[in-house]
Structure 1
Amino acid sequence: MKALIALLLIVSFENARAAEETTLQSVLEELENLKKIISQQQTKIGSLEEKNRKLQEEVVHLKSDQEVIREKMNLKQTKVLKIPKNFGGEPRKLSRGADDIILSRHKRLISPLEVGFTALRHQVSVVHTNAVIIFETSITNAGSAYNHSSGIFRAPANGLYVFFYNIECSAMGHNDNTQVELVRNGAKTGIQAYCHGTGDVDNSSTLGILHLSAGDTVWVKLLYGDNISFGGKTLFSGFLL
């Protein structure tokens, strides 16, 4: 009987020890798994920290590039707005009109203003003395400053303007001499062209430069001659320098 009890005690002890060893093994395995997970998380954290460092470096570089670009733009703007100097290195004294022209050009360099037109005359109707020659067909009209219905150009800004016109004429009456002139605000400019047609067709052209203020008007006027028919090569063109 005693032997049986001892045997049972031994068996119970062995079972308990086996269970304890199993539990300990499970705990060790869990610890090992946790170590692996922690190691993986540390690797990921290290990778994220490296990415964050690189992003911060890129931000610093972008800010530096932005500063360089801003400095270059400020330098260019300073050069544009710099007053021209004479040969002695002293600032050039400009008249009010010349100063206005330079300031106008500087403004257009900073904020470009496109002004330019070319228009043709295809009408077969005659033109009489002192009448506006209307070039009704616009080929180009950047800035919409030329009115093809009235034949009048209106300056949208202060500045120097270049004008060119060509006339192809044929006298329909007794007078075979035709004289046209560029007119500014209704006043003569002296920029004239002549042609002579005695049944045949003649051509004449001229170019002129005018300083205009915003709102000034320019057109081509038949100064001398009457009952004049202008051909298809008659055109009027102008642009802002």
Structure 2
Amino acid sequence: MANITLCSFILLLCSLIVFADENLVIQRVLEELSELRSRVDEQDLELHQLKQVVKSQSAEIQLLKGERLADDVSDHPEFGINSANEIISSTKSKKSLGDTFRSATPTKRILQKNRRITPYSAAMHRIGLTAYRVSTDPVHPKETLIFNQVLANIGNRYNHYTGVFSADQDGLYVFYFGLECNDATIEAEIVNDDVAFGYTYCDGRSGFSNSAEMILKEVSTGSSVFVRIVSTSNQNNNVVGDKTIFSGFLLN
């Protein structure tokens, strides 16, 4: 009887050990599955990013092809381009781009090969900003207006802590600034390196009012542009509305 009891106890103990081993195995399998899922998710993300890169590069290649085609046709004014990107002469005969390019003189082919594609280079350096002023602080004369809510800052040339736009490229810029005022009159000017080149006046004595100004301005690299308060009839309260805006972009 004692032997039977001992055997039963041993069998029970073995069953518990096997059951425990199975649970451990299952737990390890689940952990490995979770790790595999994480790796698959990471690979899916990398694949998506690669697809985006390929898509972007394909678009750039198409743009380069189009500009190269336009350059070749400009060297041969007797030809035009149809919707299939074939070069067509005035006699309606079709000629491939390769044939046209090969028919050019060696000197012209070298010039075509080394020609700089300026439109594409310019498109790669975009500059633009749009920001609003959202604040309960009063404003005072000679104070730079801080547009702290940034909607766009392409090129990262606008500092929303100082309210100053800093140009890193010479060119013709378009600037726009608008005031919303209430219970006061406000005069403001837009300034380039401490020289005002635009002005607006907002009369809000009868309630909310708006005024704005848009200006073209040649700006040099390293110079700054900002909006400055000239005068206000109420320096003790916030009289500037949330629709007050500063915007600008590089035209060329």
What range describes the TM-score normalised by the shorter chain of this pair? Answer: 0.5 to 0.7
Q: CA deviation at 1:197?
A: 1.4
Q: CA deviation at 1:110?
A: 2.6
The alignment's C-alpha RMSD in Å is 2.7
Q: Which residue of 1 aligns with 2:112?
A: 74
Identify which of 195, 209, 212 aligns with 2:202: 195
Identify which of 230, 236, 239 aligns with 2:246: 236
Q: State how 1:63-102 maps to structure 2 within 5 Å.
A: 74=112, 77=115
TM-superposition CA deviations, 1:144-177 (whole Å, max 9, x none): 0000000000001000110001110124xxxx32
Distance 2:114 2:131 in 1: 37
Task: Output the amino acid matched with 1:206.
Answer: E
Q: State how 1:41-80 maps to structure 2 within 5 Å.
A: 74=112, 77=115
Matched, 1:183 2:191: yes
Task: Output the amino acid matched with 1:155.
Answer: A
Q: Which residue of 1 aligns with 2:212?
A: 205
Q: Which residue of 2 aligns with 1:57?
A: none
TM-superposition CA deviations, 1:93-126 (whole Å, max 9, x none): xxxxxxxxxxxxx5x6435211000001111111
TM-score (norm 1): 0.54
Q: Which residue of 2 aligns with 1:140?
A: 152
Secondary structure in structure 1 of the residue aligned to 2:182? strand
Runs of 5+ unmatched residues, structure 2:
1-97, 103-107
Matched, 1:125 2:137: yes
- What percent of counterpart residues are identical? 31
Q: CA deviation at 1:136?
A: 0.3
* Structure number with larger C-alpha Rg: 1
Secondary structure in structure 2 of the residue aligned to 1:230? coil
Q: Which residue of 2 aligns with 1:22?
A: none
TM-superposition CA deviations, 1:16-63 (whole Å, max 9, x none): xxxxxxxxxxxxxxxxxxxxxxxxxxxxxxxxxxxxxxxxxxxxxxxx
Q: CA deviation at 1:178?
A: 1.3
